[in-house]
Copies of this chain bind each other. A is one copy, B any other.
Amino acid sequence: MKWVNVLGGIVGAAALLGLGIILGHFAIPKGTNSQHLQDLDLEILESIMQQLDASRIRENLRELSREPHLASSPQDEALVQLLLQRWRDPESGLDSAEASTYEVLLSFPSREQPNRVAVVSPTGNVLFSCRQSEQNLTGEQGGPDVVPPYAAYAPPGTPQGLLVYANQGTEEDFMKLQAQGIKLEGTIALTRYGGTGRGAKAVNAAKHGVAGVLVYTDPADINDGQSSTNETFPNSWRLPPSGVERGSYYEYFGDPLTPYLPANPSSFRLDPDTVSGFPPIPTQPIGFEDAKILLCQVNVSVYNRLELRNSSNVLGIIRGAVEPDRYVLYGNHRDSWVHGAVDPSSGTAVLLELSRVLGTLLKKGTWRPRRSIVFASWGAEEFGLIGSTEFTEEFFSKLQERAVAYINVDISVFANATLRAQGTPPVQSVIFAASKQIPAPSLGGLSIYDNWIRYFNRSSPVYGLVPSLGSLGAGSDYAPFIHFLGISSMDIAYTYDRSKTSARIYPTYHTAFDTFGYVDKFVDPGFSSHQAVARTAGSVLLRLSDSLFLPLNVSDYGETLRSFLQAAQQNLGVLLEQHSISLVPLVTAVEKFEGAAGALDQRISALQKATPDPLQVRMLNDQLMLLERTFLNPRAFPEERYYSHVLWAPRTGSVATFPGLANACSRAMNTSLGSPAWAEVQRQLSILVVALEGAAATLRPVADF
């Protein structure tokens, strides 16, 4: 062999080896690295959408609502077992599932001494007694497990007095009566549901010396005025005359004896006699059938009892493949007042179908999300969001460190017209993205989004016409997540065409008529709206748990801040100026937020175009995740239990603006310059400015301290 050949061979071999090294290094991604970049897989998402099955949701609902399952009842406990069994199923279960139990203070009517409302003669003879239970119309309204209508946490007592009709029992209503010269002292106030919270009616009444309160459901508010037997259930979805809305009359949420502490058996408990937030006087709900008969002297006998009971949450976990320490939570309560087919089983039926489909993929090994998913079935929500609140109290630190978002689907279908979503601004875009990809039921391919925008919409300065997202009050289990922990939250459901009904809520709400048959026949025959909610919430869940970049659009908060600011300027500007309080620092803070959020959007876009570095993505996602936390200030509203979010605390006025500022202004309005109330206005303004500046700081490039 010639040396030229040998040399050529060596050169060639070296070239090949070198080529190989180059290929090996650059062309084949490292295992860990490519796994770190795991992103949402649209094919898997679409396949999940297809697998979410309306008929299985229907079967879930049938099973969930077969028996009344009042919080802590044996039937409620049986559902805990059902959930555990589903979530531990070897073929469609999750990675793990556990029940955790709290010992909480609930309130029940006495079995031995039923509550009673009666009309009595001046001599004390009973002339008429209200029903003590609803009429058994379908065979499901009878039996020992149907709890008689009562006002949970209303104190026992047997007041007797003249009946006074007090409309909705607001402070204004009682003031009007007083202005008309009507003596309220010692009377029984008859009020109707709506206008204010349940417990607030009794609080307002007691301030005027009222001795007892009755609350009834008015056909005008719930049945579009219809009240006759043949126009109501079981002949339509309307509330029958004997239907009575039960409910919790507790003012706050969480276990009443353990505020800010999980209700573990060893936890410190307040003395029940000193608890604040219970109705101060005996209160009892009744049906409209009875309400119209009442007159003259009425006797109300309430024998409710407080009881310490065990109530469980059930948690099911899917471990994240890449970032197991980031949690996307999805939950609903499990307990109902009676059968609770709509409230809450329509949500739980959807939850179980979603967890089945995801669990099946998981067990087959075809899918595992980037982040962890935590499914939750909360206990004792009806008594005041108790299970979810205790959970947030117990896992306060961990959730604040790691929770990406909380998705709540309580009542999944109120009615069949349209999607309805509530949430904080960062979740708007992911709900929009999900709902654009899913067909609305029975509308020939129109997307859920395009249908939604026909019912609820607003003109956004940034996007033009978009569906309007509602804001989160404290109506379901999202409340402790958003208000106490500052976790971006949302609530998703299908709901009414408001041009067709003015019902305050679906008619059989919290009554014994909220049954499987009611849903199957009137609320969602075919369960296609249930399926639409399963798909929407499921797609949102997948996007949040699987996307490389968290789909939380923080700059959408800028739009909200700007609109709150404009409302403050318009509604409070003159008043503040009169008191030499300047909104300029607030204007500056809003501008800083907008600037920081806009720049962050640009950094995300740039990173998405380049090959993203997993640590850089993680840092950026941390900014997105933690933004909502920056709005928390546990010292902002010391008198508002749990409410720490400076943007979403309860507002007393009707203008959508900064709640702390607006409430402080309305309290200061009629006080003199230099009063403590005006100092509080200034304090609230500073709290707000600091929170917005802190939020902007969290969004700025992390290396610019």
**Binary contact readout A246-290 vs B (1 if CB under 8 angstroms, 0 otherwise):** 000000000000101110101110110000000000000000000
The 10 closest A-B CB pairs, nearest first, are A20-B20, A24-B24, A325-B702, A324-B703, A21-B24, A24-B25, A266-B585, A268-B686, A397-B630, A268-B682
Are A703 and B401 touching (Cβ within 8 A)?
A: no
Could you say which of A64-72, A524-532, A618-626 contacts chain B?
A618-626
In the bound complex, CA of A323 to CA of B322 (Å): 18
Whole-angstrom distance between the alpha carbons of A697 and B325 in the complex?
12
A317 at the interface (CB under 8 A from B): yes
Which of the residues B36, B397, B626 comes within 8 Å of A629, measured between beta carbons?
B397
What sequence of 0s and 1s flags, for each residue 22-51 of chain A, a beta carbon within 8 Å of any chain B beta carbon? Answer: 111110101011001000000000000000
CA distance A175 to B323 in the complex (A): 61
Interface string of A581-625 (1 = CB under 8 A from B): 010110000000000000000000000000001110011001100
Contact count band on A: 35 or more
Residues of B within 8 A of A682 (CB): 268
Check: A689 CB closer than 8 A to any chain B CB. Answer: yes
**A679 to B272 CA separation, bound complex (whole angstroms):** 13
- Taking each of A325, A393, A613, A622, which has the highest tally of chain B beta carbons within 10 Å of its own beta carbon? A325
Q: Evaluate whether A325 and B703 lie within 8 angstroms (CB atoms) in the complex, with A267-B686, A618-B618, A686-B267 already known.
A: yes
| Nearest opposing residue in chain B for A262, CB measure | B690
The complex places the Cα of A398 from the Cα of B324 at a distance, in Å, of: 23
With an 8 A cutoff between CB atoms, is A220 at the interface?
Answer: no
Is there contact, CB below 8 Å, between A615 and B21? no
For residue A320, CB closer than 8 A to chain B, the reply is yes
Given contacts A19-B20, A28-B25, A618-B615, contact A686 B261 (CB under 8 A): yes
Taken together, the copies of this chain in the complex come to 2
Are the CB atoms of B17 and A705 closer together than 8 Å?
no
Select one of B12, B13, B17, B30 contacting A33, CB under 8 A. B30
Q: Is A124 an interface residue (CB 8 A)?
A: no
User: For residue A23, which residues in chain B have a CB less than 8 angstroms away from its CB?
Assistant: 17, 20-21, 24
Q: Are A626 and B325 in contact (CB under 8 A)?
A: no
Query: Which parts of A348-382 form the interface with B (CB within 8 Å)?
Result: 372, 374
CB of A394 within 8 Å of the partner chain: yes
Interface flag for A396 (CB, 8 Å): yes
Contacting pair A325 B25 (CB below 8 A): no
A18: nearest residue on chain B (CB-CB)? B20
Residues A702 and B402 in contact in the complex (CB < 8 Å), given A397-B629, A634-B634: yes
Contacts of A19 in B (CB 8 A): 17, 20
Whether A697 pairs with B261 at a CB distance below 8 angstroms is: no
**A695 interfacial by beta-carbon distance below 8 Å:** yes
Say yes or no: is A296 at the interface (Cβ < 8 Å to chain B): no
Name the residue on B nearest A683 (C-beta): B268
Q: Is the CB of A36 within 8 A of B615?
A: yes
A703 touches B372 (CB 8 A): yes
Q: A398: which B residues are within 8 A, CB to CB?
A: 694, 697-698, 705
Q: What's the Cα separation between A584 and B267 when bound, in Å? A: 12
A179, B324: Cα distance in complex, Å: 65
A4-18 CB mask vs B (1 if < 8 Å, else 0) is 000000001100111
Residue among A22, A629, A697 facing the most chain B CB atoms (10 A cut-off): A697
A319 at the interface (CB under 8 A from B): yes
- A506 at the binding interface (Cβ < 8 Å): no
CB distance from A684 to the nearest CB of B (A): 8
Is A693 in the interface zone, CB < 8 Å from B? yes
In the complex, are the beta carbons of A698 and B397 less than 8 A apart? yes
Residues on the B chain within 8 Å of A153, using CB: none
Quick one: CB contact mask for A623-639 with B, threshold 8 Å, 1 for yes? 10010011000110010
Contacts A21-B21, A703-B319 given; does A686 touch B266 at CB 8 Å: yes
Q: Which residue of B lies closest to A684 (CB)?
A: B268
Question: Is A687 positioned at the interface, with any CB of B under 8 Å from its CB?
Answer: yes
Cβ contacts A to B, 15 pairs, < 8 Å? A12-B13, A20-B23, A21-B23, A23-B24, A36-B615, A268-B682, A315-B705, A323-B615, A324-B702, A325-B619, A397-B626, A397-B629, A401-B626, A401-B698, A634-B634
Interface membership of A395, Cβ < 8 A = yes
Task: Report how far A322 CA is from B260 CA in the complex, Å.
Answer: 38
A327 interface residue, CB < 8 Å from B?
A: yes
Q: Which of A665-691 contact B (CB under 8 A)?
A: 679, 682-683, 685-687, 689-690
A261-B687, A262-B690, A266-B582 provided; 6 other pairs, C-beta below 8 A? A13-B16, A96-B704, A320-B703, A394-B690, A397-B630, A398-B694
B705 touches A327 (CB 8 A): yes
Complex-state Cα separation, A679 to B20, whole angstroms: 74
B694 touches A396 (CB 8 A): yes
Determine the chain B residues whose CB is within 8 A of the CB of A694 once the complex forms. Answer: 394-398
Taking the closest CB of chain B, its distance from the CB of A581, in whole angstroms, is 9
